[in-house]
Structure 1
């Protein structure tokens, strides 16, 4: 190919032979995003049949370039290696075990061309298990302001469903190889800190495979601390520095609501969320404030239900906070 393509699909894979054929088929079936397409795939020192599968793909499809790492690099470093070979102005992330709707790249490229403010755009997804069975349909948060605010607590963009402007990605230095987990959260935070704009398409354009032994599930205390370093720096910037008693972990855990929290963590999370909310009430617009109130209300109700009769006084307090969060205007 002599002309630069419109979109480069960037993928890093290590020992992905089990699901890679399905992923390759879904990528090769992509509609032309308007101006051509290339695939840049980094084989991160695979020891299974992945190199043979990629070689067969390259032989059948001249749009593919395979880069072989001599030793395992990790996802962030492998993606940076591939990024150095990307030729398109738009780079679309893909993982070697997910499946992609045939119009995913076409729709995202059209949306990015239509809105030059956007630096990254992801989408909804269907979560599937290792056998491909549907688990849940996940509707993403939409709206750049809502997504920016939620970065204080969580990542709102599905990484393997994201399309990013190559220039913006390179301008922030690509991926931080120090993040062996939460590479995406770190990237979104750095793009936003540089004045970037992020959004989602509502449509579920990715079938996202969930593994019982995923890195997130087994990352341990060190991985959790690394992941929390992202909201820590975002909250610090938002609050112009963190007070000594500000508990980032409790604040994040209460907002996300994935599990019951101990009473002391709930109280610390309440204090942290209210500290952020006080700044938000002065700084944010109606859309962000409404989303903040709704999310806080749901978080408080959830913990109140989990507490039940074990801690009735705290449960009642949380119910009061939930009601107040929903009615405040």
Structure 2
């Protein structure tokens, strides 16, 4: 395993420092591949924070091993599970990078990831807070499942990426592959980091960041995103999970931020989609909360009323 040393002063002066916050919770099966992908980066100026969120498998031992072999890396072994948002903030607030990556250690960075995204930031204006890209989806064993942004057969991609001022698009639909994001430190500082009251971070970050910062899509595959039964995304919308409650809280924030008819229409589209998910799982309280928000931005349709009624039926 190669050794990673701190960048020289000359490199530091010429290239922005990139902080990688590597978040681990019971990723022993994947964490070596993830950390080796940090070591394989062609970009020279990197600060690494290894954060273990109270894993119960062999992850802490593996992180200690890599920290010992790479003395420039920082290691945080949290004594209790605090969740992704607080774990990230704990490292971010001690870090120094001008640009930041939130890296789950069940995913993999491709070697040119940092170089490509830093170049995109350098070519962009100072109002760009996020550069994101395409991802290769892989299964638990590393087998290829396809792409996040896949060809639609008509010269475009599905889901269609968006660049620029993307607030309305963020409200309307999911299109960003979260593990591919590189974030400007100033953007995260302005937001106060992630909202630690939430069960997950990405939707809330997109909503709050896109009000004041532009997003740029880089048409490159930079990351391998692993889909497996223990991943955070696989748990969303399950019965009794906390994710839907967090989504409602973010929609409440979005309602306070939305100003134009187009933004209200985009939020209505989002609320109707979330209402369908709540109704399918008989999440009656959440369905009623979403319906109440919907009524503040759009006139309810017959289907909206029907979904609320359906959510109250005993499964």
- TM > 0.5 fold call: yes
Q: In the alignment, what sits opposite 1:108?
A: 117
Measure the CA separation in 1 of the matches of 2:133 and 2:148: 9
1:17, CA displacement in angstroms?
A: 0.7
Alpha-carbon distance in structure 2 between the residues aligned to 1:227 and 1:60? 40
Match of 1:226 in 2: 246
1:211 Cα deviation from its structure 2 partner:
1.4
Aligned pairs (5 A) from 1:183-198: 183-193=201-211, 195-198=212-215
- 1:251 maps to what in 2? 272
Q: Deviations over 1:142-193 (max 9, x none)?
A: 3434732211123432222111111220121001011112x11101111123
Shift of 1:85: 1.8
Tell me, yes or no, if structure 1 residue 216 matches structure 2 residue 233: yes
Query: Unaligned regions of 5+ residues in structure 2, if any?
Result: 1-5, 150-158, 281-286, 299-315
Q: 1:45 to 1:254 in 2, by over 3 A?
A: closer
SS in 2 for 1:136: strand
Q: What corresponds to 1:135 in structure 2?
A: 145
The 5 Å alignment of 1:1-329 reads 1=6, 3=9, 6-33=17-44, 36-115=45-124, 116-139=126-149, 141-145=160-164, 147-181=166-200, 183-193=201-211, 195-219=212-236, 220=239, 222-235=242-255, 237-238=257-258, 251-253=272-274
Structure 1: gaps spanning 5 or more residues: 260-264, 277-329
Cα shift at 1:40:
0.8
Instruction: Specify whether residues 92 and 213 from structure 1 end up closer, same or farther in structure 2 by C-alpha distance, changes over 3 A only.
Output: closer
Q: Distance in 2 between matches of 1:149 and 1:129?
A: 32
Partner Cα distance (2:81, 2:20) in 1: 21
Aligned 8 A contact 2:22 2:51 in 1? yes
Structure 1: how far apart are the matches of 2:187 and 2:268? 32
Q: CA deviation at 1:230?
A: 2.3
Residues in 2 aligned to 1:156 and 1:255: alpha-carbon distance in whole angstroms:
18
2:284 maps to which residue? none
SS at match of 2:104: coil
Q: What is the CA-CA distance between 1:250 and the residue it aligns to?
A: 5.2
- Report the structure number with the largest CA radius of gyration: 1
Closer, same or farther in 2 for the Cα pair 1:232/1:251, shift >3 Å? farther
Alignment CA distance shift 1:231-1:200 (3 Å): farther
How many residue pairs align between the two structures? 263
Report the Cα offset of residue 213 of structure 1. Answer: 3.9
Distance apart, 1:201 and its partner CA: 1.2
**Residues 254, 138 of structure 1: alpha-carbon distance in 2 compared, 3 angstrom cutoff:** farther
